[in-house]
Amino acid sequence: MRPKTMRHALIKTRTLLAAVIAVAVHAVTAHAAAPGITGPTFNLTAQPAYLTEPDGQSVYSWGYGCSAQPAGWAPAAIAPPTGGCPNMQVPGPTLIVKEGDTVTVKLTNNLPASAGNTSILFPGFTMQPFTDGTAGLLTQEAAPGQTVTYTFVASGPGTRAYYSGTQSDLQVEMGMYGAIIVLPSNVPAACTAGLPLTNPGANAIAKGVTSQAHIGVQEGDFRLAAAAYDNAKTCYDREYLFQFSEMDPNIHTQAESQVAACNAPGAPVPCTLQVPTEPYHPAYFMINGRSMPDDMDPNYSVQYPHQPYNGNPHMHPGELVLLRIIGQGRWQHPFHEHANHVRILARDGNLILTPDGNALAGPALFTTTTTPGLAMDGIFYYTGRGLNWDMYGHNPKSGNKTAFNVDPACVADVNGYYTADPTAVNYFEWCQDHEKPVQAYPTGDITGGGPVTLPDPNILTNGAWYGGSPYLGPSATSRAVGITGTTPPAGTIANSPSGEAGFAFMWHSHNEREITTNNAFPGGMMMMMLVDSREFVIDETN
Protein backbone atom coordinates (compact mmCIF):
# COMPACT_ATOMS: atom_id res chain seq x y z
CA MET A 1 0.00 0.00 0.00
CA ARG A 2 1.21 3.53 -0.73
CA PRO A 3 -1.24 5.81 1.10
CA LYS A 4 -1.27 9.53 0.61
CA THR A 5 -0.52 11.46 3.76
CA MET A 6 -3.02 13.07 6.08
CA ARG A 7 -1.34 16.41 5.40
CA HIS A 8 -2.47 16.17 1.76
CA ALA A 9 -6.01 15.45 2.87
CA LEU A 10 -6.15 18.22 5.47
CA ILE A 11 -4.81 20.88 3.14
CA LYS A 12 -7.12 19.83 0.32
CA THR A 13 -10.22 19.51 2.43
CA ARG A 14 -9.92 22.83 4.23
CA THR A 15 -10.35 24.66 0.91
CA LEU A 16 -13.41 22.64 -0.03
CA LEU A 17 -15.03 21.62 3.23
CA ALA A 18 -16.09 25.10 4.29
CA ALA A 19 -18.61 25.33 1.50
CA VAL A 20 -19.51 21.65 1.53
CA ILE A 21 -20.24 21.26 5.23
CA ALA A 22 -22.37 24.39 5.29
CA VAL A 23 -24.89 22.63 3.09
CA ALA A 24 -24.27 19.07 4.30
CA VAL A 25 -24.86 19.24 8.05
CA HIS A 26 -28.31 17.79 7.54
CA ALA A 27 -26.74 14.61 6.15
CA VAL A 28 -24.84 13.43 9.21
CA THR A 29 -26.54 10.05 9.48
CA ALA A 30 -26.76 9.09 5.82
CA HIS A 31 -24.60 6.27 4.54
CA ALA A 32 -24.53 4.41 1.26
CA ALA A 33 -24.12 0.61 1.00
CA ALA A 34 -25.33 -0.87 -2.32
CA PRO A 35 -29.12 -1.20 -2.13
CA GLY A 36 -31.16 -2.84 -4.87
CA ILE A 37 -33.91 -5.32 -5.68
CA THR A 38 -33.60 -9.08 -5.90
CA GLY A 39 -34.72 -11.49 -8.61
CA PRO A 40 -34.21 -13.56 -10.56
CA THR A 41 -37.40 -12.20 -12.17
CA PHE A 42 -37.80 -8.45 -12.56
CA ASN A 43 -40.80 -6.53 -13.85
CA LEU A 44 -39.68 -3.12 -15.05
CA THR A 45 -41.28 -0.14 -16.71
CA ALA A 46 -39.83 2.72 -18.75
CA GLN A 47 -41.58 6.02 -18.14
CA PRO A 48 -41.06 9.77 -17.63
CA ALA A 49 -40.77 11.79 -14.42
CA TYR A 50 -38.92 14.82 -13.09
CA LEU A 51 -35.56 14.79 -11.31
CA THR A 52 -34.74 17.21 -8.49
CA GLU A 53 -31.48 19.14 -8.72
CA PRO A 54 -29.65 21.07 -5.95
CA ASP A 55 -30.13 24.38 -7.76
CA GLY A 56 -33.90 24.02 -7.48
CA GLN A 57 -34.50 22.87 -11.04
CA SER A 58 -36.87 20.03 -11.88
CA VAL A 59 -35.61 18.27 -14.99
CA TYR A 60 -37.86 16.18 -17.26
CA SER A 61 -36.30 12.73 -17.62
CA TRP A 62 -36.95 9.11 -18.55
CA GLY A 63 -35.96 6.07 -16.53
CA TYR A 64 -36.56 2.48 -15.54
CA GLY A 65 -38.59 1.48 -12.50
CA CYS A 66 -40.68 -1.33 -11.07
CA SER A 67 -44.00 -2.19 -12.72
CA ALA A 68 -44.68 -4.76 -9.95
CA GLN A 69 -43.32 -5.45 -6.50
CA PRO A 70 -39.87 -7.07 -6.61
CA ALA A 71 -39.07 -10.35 -4.92
CA GLY A 72 -37.25 -8.41 -2.22
CA TRP A 73 -34.58 -5.88 -1.37
CA ALA A 74 -30.90 -6.35 -0.66
CA PRO A 75 -29.45 -5.64 1.77
CA ALA A 76 -32.71 -6.63 3.45
CA ALA A 77 -32.46 -3.79 5.98
CA ILE A 78 -32.36 -1.13 3.25
CA ALA A 79 -35.75 -0.80 1.56
CA PRO A 80 -38.08 2.05 0.63
CA PRO A 81 -39.88 3.35 3.73
CA THR A 82 -43.18 3.08 1.84
CA GLY A 83 -42.59 -0.61 1.17
CA GLY A 84 -42.84 -0.07 -2.56
CA CYS A 85 -40.45 0.25 -5.47
CA PRO A 86 -40.36 3.60 -7.34
CA ASN A 87 -42.10 3.27 -10.69
CA MET A 88 -39.38 5.37 -12.31
CA GLN A 89 -35.94 6.12 -11.00
CA VAL A 90 -32.51 7.29 -12.13
CA PRO A 91 -30.41 5.22 -12.09
CA GLY A 92 -32.79 2.35 -12.67
CA PRO A 93 -33.23 -0.28 -9.95
CA THR A 94 -30.03 -2.11 -9.09
CA LEU A 95 -30.73 -5.72 -10.07
CA ILE A 96 -29.14 -8.21 -7.66
CA VAL A 97 -28.87 -11.86 -8.70
CA LYS A 98 -26.68 -14.86 -8.02
CA GLU A 99 -24.19 -16.50 -10.33
CA GLY A 100 -25.92 -19.26 -12.29
CA ASP A 101 -29.42 -17.76 -11.98
CA THR A 102 -31.62 -17.69 -15.04
CA VAL A 103 -32.60 -14.03 -15.03
CA THR A 104 -35.86 -12.77 -16.56
CA VAL A 105 -36.43 -9.06 -17.08
CA LYS A 106 -39.83 -7.98 -18.41
CA LEU A 107 -39.81 -4.40 -19.69
CA THR A 108 -43.01 -2.47 -20.41
CA ASN A 109 -42.70 0.69 -22.50
CA ASN A 110 -44.68 3.45 -20.81
CA LEU A 111 -42.71 6.27 -22.37
CA PRO A 112 -44.65 8.84 -24.41
CA ALA A 113 -45.72 7.31 -27.72
CA SER A 114 -43.70 9.95 -29.58
CA ALA A 115 -40.52 8.61 -27.95
CA GLY A 116 -40.94 5.39 -29.94
CA ASN A 117 -39.48 2.04 -28.98
CA THR A 118 -37.20 1.33 -26.05
CA SER A 119 -35.11 -1.59 -24.80
CA ILE A 120 -32.39 -2.75 -22.42
CA LEU A 121 -28.90 -3.99 -23.27
CA PHE A 122 -27.18 -6.36 -20.83
CA PRO A 123 -23.54 -6.37 -22.00
CA GLY A 124 -21.63 -9.50 -21.05
CA PHE A 125 -24.66 -11.79 -21.03
CA THR A 126 -26.03 -13.96 -23.84
CA MET A 127 -29.73 -13.46 -24.45
CA GLN A 128 -31.96 -16.49 -24.93
CA PRO A 129 -34.39 -16.48 -27.90
CA PHE A 130 -37.08 -13.83 -27.70
CA THR A 131 -40.78 -14.69 -27.68
CA ASP A 132 -42.21 -11.15 -27.66
CA GLY A 133 -41.31 -7.59 -28.49
CA THR A 134 -40.14 -6.02 -31.75
CA ALA A 135 -36.83 -6.61 -33.49
CA GLY A 136 -34.44 -3.67 -33.14
CA LEU A 137 -31.00 -2.73 -34.35
CA LEU A 138 -29.10 -3.94 -31.27
CA THR A 139 -31.64 -6.00 -29.34
CA GLN A 140 -35.33 -6.79 -29.05
CA GLU A 141 -37.37 -3.67 -28.30
CA ALA A 142 -40.71 -2.77 -26.77
CA ALA A 143 -42.97 -0.54 -28.84
CA PRO A 144 -45.12 2.02 -26.97
CA GLY A 145 -47.41 0.12 -24.59
CA GLN A 146 -45.70 -3.18 -25.42
CA THR A 147 -43.70 -5.57 -23.21
CA VAL A 148 -40.48 -7.34 -24.14
CA THR A 149 -38.86 -10.14 -22.12
CA TYR A 150 -35.11 -10.59 -21.75
CA THR A 151 -33.84 -13.94 -20.46
CA PHE A 152 -30.22 -14.85 -19.78
CA VAL A 153 -28.02 -16.80 -17.41
CA ALA A 154 -25.98 -14.78 -14.92
CA SER A 155 -22.84 -16.53 -16.05
CA GLY A 156 -20.29 -14.87 -13.79
CA PRO A 157 -20.07 -12.64 -10.71
CA GLY A 158 -19.27 -8.96 -10.71
CA THR A 159 -20.72 -5.53 -11.41
CA ARG A 160 -22.05 -4.57 -14.82
CA ALA A 161 -24.09 -1.81 -16.42
CA TYR A 162 -27.41 -2.07 -18.21
CA TYR A 163 -28.84 0.66 -20.42
CA SER A 164 -31.10 1.39 -23.35
CA GLY A 165 -30.11 -0.07 -26.71
CA THR A 166 -32.56 2.11 -28.63
CA GLN A 167 -31.54 5.58 -29.79
CA SER A 168 -29.00 5.46 -26.99
CA ASP A 169 -27.65 8.97 -27.55
CA LEU A 170 -31.04 10.30 -26.42
CA GLN A 171 -32.45 7.59 -24.14
CA VAL A 172 -29.32 7.06 -22.03
CA GLU A 173 -28.95 10.84 -21.72
CA MET A 174 -32.56 11.02 -20.52
CA GLY A 175 -31.73 8.60 -17.68
CA MET A 176 -32.26 5.06 -18.97
CA TYR A 177 -29.43 3.16 -17.32
CA GLY A 178 -28.77 1.08 -14.21
CA ALA A 179 -26.59 -1.59 -12.62
CA ILE A 180 -26.76 -5.36 -12.30
CA ILE A 181 -24.75 -7.07 -9.57
CA VAL A 182 -24.08 -10.80 -9.82
CA LEU A 183 -23.06 -12.37 -6.51
CA PRO A 184 -20.66 -15.35 -6.51
CA SER A 185 -22.18 -18.79 -6.11
CA ASN A 186 -19.11 -20.23 -4.39
CA VAL A 187 -18.08 -17.76 -1.72
CA PRO A 188 -14.65 -18.79 -0.43
CA ALA A 189 -14.67 -20.11 3.13
CA ALA A 190 -11.96 -17.63 4.06
CA CYS A 191 -14.41 -14.82 3.38
CA THR A 192 -17.20 -16.15 5.60
CA ALA A 193 -15.28 -16.51 8.88
CA GLY A 194 -16.46 -13.12 10.06
CA LEU A 195 -15.56 -9.46 10.17
CA PRO A 196 -13.23 -7.65 10.36
CA LEU A 197 -11.65 -9.63 7.54
CA THR A 198 -8.54 -7.48 7.34
CA ASN A 199 -6.07 -9.78 9.10
CA PRO A 200 -8.06 -10.23 12.34
CA GLY A 201 -5.13 -11.96 14.04
CA ALA A 202 -4.67 -15.28 15.78
CA ASN A 203 -6.96 -14.29 18.65
CA ALA A 204 -10.00 -13.65 16.44
CA ILE A 205 -11.93 -16.72 17.57
CA ALA A 206 -10.98 -16.22 21.21
CA LYS A 207 -12.20 -12.62 21.03
CA GLY A 208 -15.60 -13.72 19.79
CA VAL A 209 -15.40 -12.67 16.15
CA THR A 210 -18.34 -14.35 14.43
CA SER A 211 -20.27 -13.89 11.22
CA GLN A 212 -21.77 -10.77 12.76
CA ALA A 213 -20.02 -7.78 11.25
CA HIS A 214 -17.75 -5.58 13.35
CA ILE A 215 -18.64 -7.22 16.61
CA GLY A 216 -16.58 -4.71 18.58
CA VAL A 217 -19.20 -2.03 17.93
CA GLN A 218 -22.17 -4.33 17.20
CA GLU A 219 -22.69 -3.15 13.64
CA GLY A 220 -24.93 -4.88 11.18
CA ASP A 221 -23.59 -6.61 8.09
CA PHE A 222 -24.78 -4.83 4.95
CA ARG A 223 -22.68 -6.66 2.39
CA LEU A 224 -24.45 -8.34 -0.50
CA ALA A 225 -22.00 -11.22 -0.17
CA ALA A 226 -18.81 -12.01 1.72
CA ALA A 227 -16.71 -11.84 -1.45
CA ALA A 228 -16.94 -10.02 -4.76
CA TYR A 229 -15.86 -13.07 -6.78
CA ASP A 230 -15.25 -16.79 -6.41
CA ASN A 231 -11.77 -16.00 -5.16
CA ALA A 232 -10.47 -15.79 -1.58
CA LYS A 233 -8.55 -12.62 -2.42
CA THR A 234 -11.79 -10.71 -3.05
CA CYS A 235 -13.12 -10.70 0.53
CA TYR A 236 -14.38 -7.35 1.72
CA ASP A 237 -15.88 -5.67 4.81
CA ARG A 238 -18.40 -3.20 3.34
CA GLU A 239 -19.39 -2.06 -0.16
CA TYR A 240 -20.68 0.91 -2.13
CA LEU A 241 -22.05 1.31 -5.65
CA PHE A 242 -21.33 4.54 -7.53
CA GLN A 243 -22.81 5.27 -10.97
CA PHE A 244 -21.38 8.37 -12.65
CA SER A 245 -23.33 10.31 -15.26
CA GLU A 246 -23.86 13.80 -16.60
CA MET A 247 -26.91 15.62 -17.97
CA ASP A 248 -27.47 18.37 -20.55
CA PRO A 249 -30.72 20.09 -19.49
CA ASN A 250 -31.16 21.58 -22.95
CA ILE A 251 -31.71 18.10 -24.41
CA HIS A 252 -34.25 17.31 -21.69
CA THR A 253 -36.08 20.59 -22.25
CA GLN A 254 -36.33 19.94 -25.99
CA ALA A 255 -37.60 16.41 -25.38
CA GLU A 256 -40.25 17.72 -23.00
CA SER A 257 -41.35 20.41 -25.47
CA GLN A 258 -41.57 18.00 -28.38
CA VAL A 259 -43.56 15.47 -26.33
CA ALA A 260 -46.01 18.23 -25.42
CA ALA A 261 -46.27 19.29 -29.06
CA CYS A 262 -46.97 15.72 -30.16
CA ASN A 263 -49.72 15.45 -27.54
CA ALA A 264 -51.35 18.73 -28.58
CA PRO A 265 -54.55 18.78 -30.65
CA GLY A 266 -53.82 18.76 -34.36
CA ALA A 267 -50.38 17.17 -34.03
CA PRO A 268 -49.36 14.99 -37.01
CA VAL A 269 -49.90 11.24 -36.74
CA PRO A 270 -47.52 9.60 -36.24
CA CYS A 271 -45.59 12.25 -34.35
CA THR A 272 -42.01 11.38 -33.44
CA LEU A 273 -39.31 13.20 -31.52
CA GLN A 274 -36.40 14.77 -33.35
CA VAL A 275 -34.23 15.87 -30.43
CA PRO A 276 -30.65 16.89 -31.32
CA THR A 277 -28.06 15.52 -28.90
CA GLU A 278 -25.16 17.57 -30.27
CA PRO A 279 -23.61 19.94 -29.38
CA TYR A 280 -23.42 18.46 -25.92
CA HIS A 281 -23.12 20.81 -22.92
CA PRO A 282 -23.87 19.00 -19.65
CA ALA A 283 -24.57 21.21 -16.65
CA TYR A 284 -25.32 18.51 -14.06
CA PHE A 285 -22.78 15.91 -12.95
CA MET A 286 -24.21 13.14 -10.83
CA ILE A 287 -23.33 10.20 -8.60
CA ASN A 288 -26.20 7.72 -8.40
CA GLY A 289 -28.52 10.24 -10.02
CA ARG A 290 -27.83 12.99 -7.45
CA SER A 291 -25.39 15.89 -7.24
CA MET A 292 -23.63 17.08 -4.09
CA PRO A 293 -24.99 17.78 -1.47
CA ASP A 294 -28.09 15.73 -2.33
CA ASP A 295 -25.97 12.60 -2.70
CA MET A 296 -25.22 12.74 1.04
CA ASP A 297 -28.86 12.52 2.04
CA PRO A 298 -30.24 9.06 2.94
CA ASN A 299 -31.27 6.41 0.48
CA TYR A 300 -34.97 6.67 -0.43
CA SER A 301 -35.27 10.24 0.87
CA VAL A 302 -38.78 11.53 0.23
CA GLN A 303 -37.46 14.72 -1.35
CA TYR A 304 -35.97 12.68 -4.21
CA PRO A 305 -38.82 10.31 -5.20
CA HIS A 306 -37.10 9.34 -8.46
CA GLN A 307 -33.48 9.38 -7.24
CA PRO A 308 -33.45 6.81 -4.43
CA TYR A 309 -29.73 6.03 -4.15
CA ASN A 310 -27.17 8.15 -2.32
CA GLY A 311 -23.37 8.29 -2.27
CA ASN A 312 -21.91 8.73 1.20
CA PRO A 313 -19.29 6.12 2.16
CA HIS A 314 -18.07 5.50 5.70
CA MET A 315 -15.49 3.05 7.03
CA HIS A 316 -13.28 2.17 9.97
CA PRO A 317 -9.48 2.03 9.64
CA GLY A 318 -8.23 -1.21 8.14
CA GLU A 319 -11.47 -2.28 6.52
CA LEU A 320 -11.53 -3.52 2.95
CA VAL A 321 -14.14 -1.43 1.14
CA LEU A 322 -15.45 -2.78 -2.16
CA LEU A 323 -16.19 0.00 -4.63
CA ARG A 324 -18.50 -0.88 -7.51
CA ILE A 325 -17.99 1.87 -10.11
CA ILE A 326 -19.86 2.36 -13.40
CA GLY A 327 -19.56 5.04 -16.06
CA GLN A 328 -23.14 5.61 -17.20
CA GLY A 329 -22.89 8.81 -19.22
CA ARG A 330 -21.24 9.92 -22.44
CA TRP A 331 -18.09 11.39 -20.89
CA GLN A 332 -15.16 9.98 -18.98
CA HIS A 333 -14.97 11.22 -15.40
CA PRO A 334 -11.61 11.22 -13.56
CA PHE A 335 -12.88 10.51 -10.05
CA HIS A 336 -10.29 10.85 -7.30
CA GLU A 337 -10.59 9.00 -4.00
CA HIS A 338 -8.47 10.85 -1.42
CA ALA A 339 -6.44 9.00 1.22
CA ASN A 340 -5.39 5.99 -0.86
CA HIS A 341 -5.36 4.48 -4.30
CA VAL A 342 -8.09 2.03 -5.38
CA ARG A 343 -6.84 -1.45 -6.24
CA ILE A 344 -8.87 -2.67 -9.21
CA LEU A 345 -10.12 -6.24 -8.92
CA ALA A 346 -12.06 -6.59 -12.14
CA ARG A 347 -13.58 -4.84 -15.14
CA ASP A 348 -17.03 -5.77 -16.42
CA GLY A 349 -17.04 -8.91 -14.30
CA ASN A 350 -13.61 -10.08 -15.50
CA LEU A 351 -11.33 -10.69 -12.54
CA ILE A 352 -7.79 -9.49 -13.31
CA LEU A 353 -5.29 -12.19 -12.31
CA THR A 354 -1.66 -13.04 -12.98
CA PRO A 355 -1.08 -15.54 -15.81
CA ASP A 356 -0.87 -18.41 -13.32
CA GLY A 357 -4.16 -17.33 -11.74
CA ASN A 358 -2.69 -17.23 -8.23
CA ALA A 359 -2.64 -13.51 -7.55
CA LEU A 360 -4.59 -10.35 -8.25
CA ALA A 361 -3.05 -8.21 -10.97
CA GLY A 362 -5.29 -5.16 -11.26
CA PRO A 363 -3.72 -1.70 -11.18
CA ALA A 364 -3.76 0.71 -8.23
CA LEU A 365 -5.48 3.84 -9.55
CA PHE A 366 -5.00 7.43 -8.37
CA THR A 367 -8.25 8.29 -10.15
CA THR A 368 -10.85 5.71 -11.12
CA THR A 369 -11.43 7.21 -14.54
CA THR A 370 -14.81 6.01 -15.73
CA THR A 371 -15.46 4.91 -19.30
CA PRO A 372 -19.03 5.05 -20.65
CA GLY A 373 -20.63 1.66 -20.12
CA LEU A 374 -17.63 0.20 -18.26
CA ALA A 375 -17.91 -1.20 -14.74
CA MET A 376 -15.04 -1.67 -12.30
CA ASP A 377 -14.76 -3.45 -8.98
CA GLY A 378 -12.00 -2.21 -6.70
CA ILE A 379 -10.80 -2.27 -3.10
CA PHE A 380 -10.14 0.85 -1.04
CA TYR A 381 -8.75 0.91 2.49
CA TYR A 382 -7.16 3.34 4.92
CA THR A 383 -5.03 2.61 8.00
CA GLY A 384 -3.11 5.81 8.70
CA ARG A 385 0.18 4.08 8.04
CA GLY A 386 2.92 6.55 7.19
CA LEU A 387 1.46 9.59 8.93
CA ASN A 388 4.33 9.55 11.46
CA TRP A 389 2.03 10.50 14.31
CA ASP A 390 -0.43 8.57 16.45
CA MET A 391 -3.80 9.32 14.88
CA TYR A 392 -5.57 7.77 17.91
CA GLY A 393 -4.00 10.40 20.18
CA HIS A 394 -2.28 8.00 22.60
CA ASN A 395 0.02 9.70 25.07
CA PRO A 396 2.54 7.68 27.13
CA LYS A 397 1.36 9.51 30.25
CA SER A 398 -2.37 9.22 29.71
CA GLY A 399 -2.76 5.79 31.28
CA ASN A 400 -5.55 4.84 28.88
CA LYS A 401 -5.29 1.06 28.90
CA THR A 402 -8.36 0.41 31.03
CA ALA A 403 -10.42 3.41 30.05
CA PHE A 404 -10.16 2.87 26.32
CA ASN A 405 -9.64 -0.89 26.05
CA VAL A 406 -6.35 -0.56 24.22
CA ASP A 407 -2.88 -1.89 24.84
CA PRO A 408 -0.40 1.02 25.05
CA ALA A 409 2.33 -1.38 23.98
CA CYS A 410 0.60 -1.82 20.59
CA VAL A 411 2.08 -5.25 19.88
CA ALA A 412 2.49 -5.41 16.12
CA ASP A 413 1.49 -8.37 14.01
CA VAL A 414 3.70 -9.60 11.16
CA ASN A 415 2.49 -6.68 9.05
CA GLY A 416 3.13 -4.02 11.68
CA TYR A 417 -0.49 -3.48 12.80
CA TYR A 418 -2.23 -3.97 16.13
CA THR A 419 -4.63 -6.85 15.43
CA ALA A 420 -4.58 -8.79 18.70
CA ASP A 421 -7.95 -7.42 19.80
CA PRO A 422 -10.52 -6.85 16.99
CA THR A 423 -12.82 -5.16 19.51
CA ALA A 424 -10.30 -2.48 20.50
CA VAL A 425 -10.86 1.16 19.54
CA ASN A 426 -7.45 1.25 17.88
CA TYR A 427 -7.79 -2.06 16.06
CA PHE A 428 -5.48 -1.96 13.03
CA GLU A 429 -3.34 0.86 14.40
CA TRP A 430 0.07 1.22 12.72
CA CYS A 431 2.23 0.43 15.73
CA GLN A 432 5.28 2.33 14.55
CA ASP A 433 3.37 5.56 15.23
CA HIS A 434 1.87 4.49 18.57
CA GLU A 435 2.19 7.02 21.45
CA LYS A 436 3.50 9.73 19.12
CA PRO A 437 0.96 12.55 19.43
CA VAL A 438 1.71 15.61 17.34
CA GLN A 439 2.32 17.69 20.50
CA ALA A 440 5.08 15.37 21.68
CA TYR A 441 6.47 14.59 18.24
CA PRO A 442 5.68 17.67 16.12
CA THR A 443 6.29 16.09 12.74
CA GLY A 444 4.01 18.72 11.25
CA ASP A 445 5.76 21.73 12.80
CA ILE A 446 8.82 23.25 11.17
CA THR A 447 10.05 24.68 14.48
CA GLY A 448 9.98 21.14 15.86
CA GLY A 449 12.00 19.71 13.01
CA GLY A 450 9.03 18.62 10.91
CA PRO A 451 8.60 19.14 7.18
CA VAL A 452 5.55 21.41 7.32
CA THR A 453 3.58 23.54 9.76
CA LEU A 454 0.03 22.35 10.21
CA PRO A 455 -2.77 24.91 9.69
CA ASP A 456 -3.96 26.80 12.74
CA PRO A 457 -6.62 24.55 14.29
CA ASN A 458 -8.75 27.61 15.00
CA ILE A 459 -9.24 28.23 11.28
CA LEU A 460 -9.55 24.63 10.18
CA THR A 461 -12.94 23.88 8.73
CA ASN A 462 -15.15 22.06 11.19
CA GLY A 463 -18.02 20.05 9.92
CA ALA A 464 -20.52 17.52 11.13
CA TRP A 465 -17.95 14.72 10.87
CA TYR A 466 -14.45 16.17 10.78
CA GLY A 467 -12.72 16.04 14.17
CA GLY A 468 -10.99 19.40 13.85
CA SER A 469 -7.69 17.87 14.94
CA PRO A 470 -5.17 15.36 13.55
CA TYR A 471 -6.66 12.66 15.80
CA LEU A 472 -9.33 10.06 15.15
CA GLY A 473 -12.23 9.64 17.53
CA PRO A 474 -14.30 11.82 19.87
CA SER A 475 -11.90 11.50 22.81
CA ALA A 476 -8.56 11.31 21.00
CA THR A 477 -7.71 15.00 21.36
CA SER A 478 -8.07 14.79 25.14
CA ARG A 479 -6.02 11.59 25.28
CA ALA A 480 -3.20 13.17 23.32
CA VAL A 481 -2.69 16.13 25.63
CA GLY A 482 -3.81 14.70 28.95
CA ILE A 483 -6.87 15.33 31.06
CA THR A 484 -6.35 19.08 31.53
CA GLY A 485 -5.83 20.40 28.04
CA THR A 486 -7.55 20.37 24.67
CA THR A 487 -6.56 21.27 21.17
CA PRO A 488 -9.04 23.71 19.60
CA PRO A 489 -11.51 23.42 18.11
CA ALA A 490 -12.71 20.20 19.76
CA GLY A 491 -16.13 20.76 21.30
CA THR A 492 -17.38 23.23 18.69
CA ILE A 493 -21.07 23.52 17.96
CA ALA A 494 -20.68 21.40 14.84
CA ASN A 495 -18.64 18.67 16.49
CA SER A 496 -19.12 17.76 20.12
CA PRO A 497 -16.45 15.67 21.90
CA SER A 498 -18.85 12.72 21.95
CA GLY A 499 -19.71 13.01 18.27
CA GLU A 500 -18.46 11.11 15.27
CA ALA A 501 -15.16 13.02 14.91
CA GLY A 502 -13.73 11.08 12.00
CA PHE A 503 -11.42 12.03 9.16
CA ALA A 504 -13.26 13.58 6.22
CA PHE A 505 -11.69 12.80 2.87
CA MET A 506 -13.04 14.58 -0.17
CA TRP A 507 -13.87 12.22 -3.03
CA HIS A 508 -14.48 14.22 -6.19
CA SER A 509 -13.98 14.53 -9.92
CA HIS A 510 -10.61 15.91 -10.95
CA ASN A 511 -12.34 17.77 -13.76
CA GLU A 512 -13.04 21.05 -11.96
CA ARG A 513 -16.21 21.79 -13.89
CA GLU A 514 -17.65 18.48 -12.72
CA ILE A 515 -17.65 19.59 -9.07
CA THR A 516 -20.17 22.31 -9.92
CA THR A 517 -23.94 22.23 -10.35
CA ASN A 518 -24.99 24.35 -13.30
CA ASN A 519 -21.60 26.08 -13.00
CA ALA A 520 -22.02 26.85 -9.27
CA PHE A 521 -19.49 25.44 -6.79
CA PRO A 522 -19.73 23.25 -4.75
CA GLY A 523 -21.80 20.54 -6.35
CA GLY A 524 -21.65 17.87 -9.00
CA MET A 525 -19.53 14.76 -8.60
CA MET A 526 -18.44 15.21 -5.02
CA MET A 527 -18.93 13.29 -1.80
CA MET A 528 -17.10 12.51 1.43
CA MET A 529 -15.42 9.34 2.63
CA LEU A 530 -15.67 9.39 6.43
CA VAL A 531 -13.06 7.31 8.25
CA ASP A 532 -14.60 6.77 11.67
CA SER A 533 -13.06 5.70 14.92
CA ARG A 534 -14.16 2.19 15.78
CA GLU A 535 -16.24 3.30 18.76
CA PHE A 536 -18.57 5.02 16.29
CA VAL A 537 -21.28 2.69 14.96
CA ILE A 538 -21.77 3.08 11.22
CA ASP A 539 -25.45 2.61 10.50
CA GLU A 540 -26.02 1.85 6.82
CA THR A 541 -29.76 1.25 7.03
CA ASN A 542 -30.38 4.67 5.49
Lowest mean pLDDT among 81-95, 200-214, 445-459: 200-214
Summarised one tens digit per residue, pLDDT across range 339-358 is 999 999 999 999 999 998 88
The helix/strand/coil state of 309 is coil
Indicate whether this model's pTM tops 0.85: yes
Whole-number Å distance between alpha carbons of 516 and 524: 5
**Mean pLDDT for the chain?**
82
Whole-number Å distance between alpha carbons of 380 and 195: 16
Summarised one tens digit per residue, pLDDT across range 133-164 is 999 999 999 999 999 999 999 999 999 999 99
Q: 10 Å Cβ neighbour count for 137?
A: 11
* φ, ψ for residue 256, nearest 5 deg: -60, -45
DSSP secondary structure string for all residues of 8-30: HHHHHHHHHHHHHHHHHGGGTT-
Model confidence band, residue 256 (pLDDT cutoffs 50, 70, 90): very high
**What is the strand order of the sheet 41-52 is part of?**
58-66, 41-52, 102-109, 147-153
Q: 10 Å Cβ neighbour count for 355?
A: 7
For 392, residues 6+ apart whose C-beta sits below 8 A from its C-beta are 406, 425, 426, 429, 471, 472, 473, 476, 479, 533
Q: 10 Å Cβ neighbour count for 151?
A: 17
Whole-number Å distance between alpha carbons of 179 and 84: 19
- Residues 264-268, mean pLDDT to the nearest whole number: 92
Model confidence band, residue 213 (pLDDT cutoffs 50, 70, 90): very low
Q: What is the pLDDT of residue 474?
A: 73
User: Is pLDDT at 11 greater than 90 in this prediction?
Assistant: no
User: Is pLDDT at 127 greater than 80 in this prediction?
Assistant: yes
Rounded to 5°, angle at Cα 404 from 408 and 202:
60
Paired sense of beta strands 314-315 and 526-531, if any: parallel
Q: What is the pLDDT of residue 542?
A: 66
Q: What is the pLDDT of residue 331?
A: 96
Model confidence band, residue 3 (pLDDT cutoffs 50, 70, 90): very low
Summarised one tens digit per residue, pLDDT across range 55-72 is 999 999 999 999 999 999
DSSP secondary structure string for all residues of 260-295: HHHHSTT--SS--------S----EEEETTB-TTGG
Its sign, for the CA torsion 79, 299, 530, 369, is positive
Whole-number Å distance between alpha carbons of 263 and 261: 5
Whole-number Å distance between alpha carbons of 537 and 534: 7
Lowest mean pLDDT among 187-201, 231-245, 463-477, 502-516: 187-201
User: Is pLDDT at 456 greater than 80 in this prediction?
Assistant: no
- Residues 222-239, mean pLDDT to the nearest whole number: 91
Whole-number Å distance between alpha carbons of 437 and 471: 8
DSSP secondary structure string for all residues of 162-227: EE--SSHHHHHHHT-EEEEEEE-SS--GGGSS-S--S---TTTTTTT--SSTTTTTT-----SSSB
Q: Which helix (H) or strand (E) holds 250?
A: helix 249-263
User: Is pLDDT at 207 greater than 60 in this prediction?
Assistant: no
Rounded to 5°, angle at Cα 30 from 26 and 35:
145
Spatial CA neighbour of 428 closest among 507, 315, 323: 315
Q: Of 23-32, 237-246, 420-429, give the range with the top mean pLDDT.
A: 237-246
Model confidence band, residue 448 (pLDDT cutoffs 50, 70, 90): low
Its sign, for the CA torsion 538, 319, 391, 15, is negative
User: Is pLDDT at 28 greater than 50 in this prediction?
Assistant: no
